[in-house]
Structure 1
């Protein structure tokens, strides 16, 4: 078991996604989207890592899993907002492809951690 949430691969990957979004998407959005799409992407990105951290801090398998599910939902929300950004021509297809790959990896790692926690809980 990880000694802190920063050691979790799912947290690390969601953190990398958050940094990528800040550097490659949020900077490309027009000022008119500052309180709309910009805010939604940033909140979802922050939520993806924050929920993993909060779940890790709970020390109870079922609670941790619930927060991981919230994180997984935030990652899916990031992809949806990124598709919207592409549709509005704020980002190009290449950036969307990278985001799609990163979100898939995040979801796979979160799902793997959920499976791990369920197995650990069943061993009790």
Structure 2
């Protein structure tokens, strides 16, 4: 037995991305706990949360709306990654890996959303 959203690759990938970003944020300075650390964690968790919430709705327009929230949350994560890189909390390699993951995930969500009627 499983929920419908658990079968979606976009949900599975967003769950993986959330754990990756969480681990990265553990190394952020303690004085960022209520700022960048909190912001990036909430944004990345929002991606999977909105996919799952939208999926349980019986209306494709509503599901599309929630997928849009997920897309915007990915953009927020990318902005936080830039801030982390600019503040030297992460190096260019970590930034590039996660930037690529975010870009791929965003495009998969957009493609999925475009296939909904």
Summarize the alignment of residues 72-111 of structure 1 with structure 2, pairs less than 5 Å apart: 72-111=71-110
* Whole-Å separation in 2 of the counterparts to 1:108 and 1:18: 17
CA RMSD, 1 decimal: 1.3
Q: Structure 2, unaligned stretches of length 5 or more?
A: none
- Measured after TM superposition, the shift of residue 76 of structure 1 is 0.8
TM-score, normalising length from structure 2?
0.95
TM-score, normalising length from structure 1?
0.90
- 1:8 aligns with 8
- 2:54 aligns with 55
- 2:21 aligns with 21
Q: Structure 1, unaligned stretches of length 5 or more?
A: none
C-alpha offsets along residues 10-66 of structure 1, whole Å, 9 cap, x if unaligned? 11111111111112x211100000000000001001100000001001120000000
* Whole-Å separation in 1 of the counterparts to 2:27 and 2:92: 14
* Whole-Å separation in 2 of the counterparts to 1:99 and 1:59: 33
Q: Which moved more, 1:7-16 or 1:80-89?
A: 7-16
Larger radius of gyration between Structure 1 and Structure 2: 1
- 2:32 aligns with 33
**Does 1:113 find its partner at 2:109?**
no
Q: What is the aligned residue count?
A: 116
